[in-house]
Structure 1
């Protein structure tokens, strides 16, 4: 018999999210620093996001949402119109 106190829901960090990657060699995991190198599974440019095979959602502003719910802040590189050169 289970009681209410013995039941609990696993938190996002405790859940193991299976990889969608079927590539050989496998794409980088969502926890890897190079996670953005994974293959695209779906892209919705009109909505501003894409899904990678490692479960990472990449947003147009370069922000990311990892499968465990962790948010990666946008990290857009400066364009050439923002580069300052010495004269």
Structure 2
């Protein structure tokens, strides 16, 4: 009798516990934010600034590469302290 009551109580506890499970939903933020004009404008501005900065970084990298190549080309002619 005790065993039967224990099993009934155990299964009852399991079923009640599962009714309080968390609920969740998927929210498509891209769809929501796509409907906001300010978000679209902000993304365009951010993209433009990003392209501008990337071109500045590329230009600086090319300048560094040119100086590095010039240094290696002139390395033969430099004295010990100048190297």
Higher relative contact order (CA 8 A, sep 6+): 1
Compute the TM-score of the two structures, normalised by the length of structure 2. Answer: 0.23
Q: Which has the higher strand share?
A: 1
Larger radius of gyration: 2
